[in-house]
Amino acid sequence: MNRKIIGIFICLMLMTAILTTAHNVKNSSIKYEYNEIDTISFDEGDVPVWEVGDKWAYRVDKIVIDFEQTDLSIFVDGNIDTLELEVNKVTEEFYELNFEADISGFYELYTDFGDGPINITGELKSTTIEGTITYNKTDLAIKQVHIIISGRLTIKIVEQPYYDLSFMPNIPIPATIILDIGLGNPYPLIEFPLNTSKCWGLPATNFSLSGTIESSWLRLANTINKFFRIPGVIPILATILGTDPDMLKEISDILNDILPIIDIKYVLNEYVDIDNVFEIPAVPTILCCFGKDYVKVPAREEPFEAYNISLMGSSLGNIYYSPEVGNKIKITGNFEEVLPFVSNINAELISYSFNPK
């Protein structure tokens, strides 16, 4: 049971603090609201050229992460007031962008490892997410992401099969989580050059996950565990709890090994029986751009002319890309077929600083 308990704990800490998109044409269609007009276009949207200081800010009023496998489901419903992106470094091969946002919301975790259901819920409060994203210059494919999540989350154990914890209130946990995600093959969401007669899929890749979890709560747990490891204490505690002292000794050994700062890669490999490299299968040809729209977003009064990229003919969602902005200006819909775990997202551009090159 020791691995089960630690597995639940790590899944919770990792997943609940979350979060982190050619041919010439002769005729295309540009729509403004519901009025459609015909136009002639010979241009293509080449990959934009970013410079240090270019920046974009988005309002993300909904991001839903819904992951489900046999005996494991994770659901996060989050809101981000403002997500800010700024180019801070340009090399011969890569762009590096800083990002920062405040996030709030709630989560649910359900799992069953054979002993009975474990159901945990909670809220994200006063939580900030920041870090860097590295893109290829040639195609804006994501290469790696460095994430720092800091703030408070609450934990409520709704049910679990091991001990009666119904007396416990919601537990606030301050924490700092650092995640490093590296992709084996860079992951492009838009295939450049972009035009209004194009469809594409996404390549198979994998990503590695590493990082650390630090918290005053974990430091306290480490101190308490050190006390439990004083000879003679664990048998007394086992008698009080009415449980097996050998099992408590095993749990204490694991906590002594991983606390006070949790090494995510080490714990995944050693205690959760999960390798820290995760496969992402190829996505078939479900993204298509067949036209342009005039799209109104808060970034300015006048609508932007933007390529309308649809997923499954807009049945799953739409991405609007504007060469004038050098980035996406609006994303809406269900993206679970394209972005692993992300089932719903609504985002729109609220400000930007970019000069097309």
Q: Which range has the worst mean pLDDT, 29-38, 63-72, 90-99, 112-121?
A: 29-38
Give residue 180's pLDDT.
Answer: 95
Q: pLDDT tens digits for 214-249?
A: 999 899 999 999 999 999 999 998 898 888 888 889
Domain that holds residue 260: 2-21+23-353
Comparing CA positions, the residue from 187, 202, 349, 347 lying closest to residue 288 is: 202
130: Cα separation from own chain's centroid:
12
Pairing state of beta strands 55-69 and 35-39? Answer: unpaired
* C-alpha to C-alpha distance for 129 and 318, rounded to whole angstroms: 25
Residue 278 CB-density burial (10 A; 0-12 exposed, 13-18 middle, 19+ buried): middle
Return the half-sphere exposure (C-beta side, CA atoms, 13 A cut-off) of residue 330.
Answer: 20
pLDDT of 84 higher than 90: yes
CA distance 204 to 213: 29
pTM tops 0.75, yes or no: yes
100 alpha-carbon distance from chain centroid? 13
Nearest to 312 by CA among 333, 329, 342, 292: 333
- Using 50, 70 and 90 to split pLDDT, how confident is the model at 13? very low
- Confirm if 119 and 109 have CB atoms less than 8 A apart: yes
Closest CA to 209 of 153, 275, 149: 275
Over the stretch 43-78, which tens digit does the pLDDT of each residue have? 688 999 999 999 999 998 877 777 666 666 778 888
Q: What pairs with residue 177 in β-bridges?
A: 149, 213
Report CA Rg, the chain: 24
**Distance between CA atoms of residues 271 and 7, nearest Å:** 7
Number of domain units in the chain: 1
Mean pLDDT of the chain: 81
117 has pLDDT over 90: no
Q: Name the nearest CA neighbour of 292 among 21, 28, 25.
A: 28
Q: Which residues pair with 106 in a beta bridge?
A: 77, 123
C-alpha angle 167-172-174 in degrees, rounded to nearest 5: 150
Q: How confident is the model at residue 2 (pLDDT cuts 50, 70, 90)?
A: very low
Lowest mean pLDDT among 115-124, 321-330, 340-349: 340-349
Question: Could you give the maximum distance between any two Cα atoms of the chain, in Å?
Answer: 84
Which range of 77-86, 184-193, 291-300 scores highest in mean pLDDT? It is 291-300
62 neighbors 80 (Cβ within 8 angstroms)? no
Q: Model confidence at 37, in pLDDT bands (50, 70, 90)?
A: very low
Of 342, 288, 355, nearest to 318 by C-alpha is: 288
Segment 276-282 mean pLDDT: 82
Q: Residue 273: its pLDDT value, please?
A: 64
Residue 273 region by backbone torsions, left for phi larger than 0, else alpha for psi between -120 and 50, else beta: left
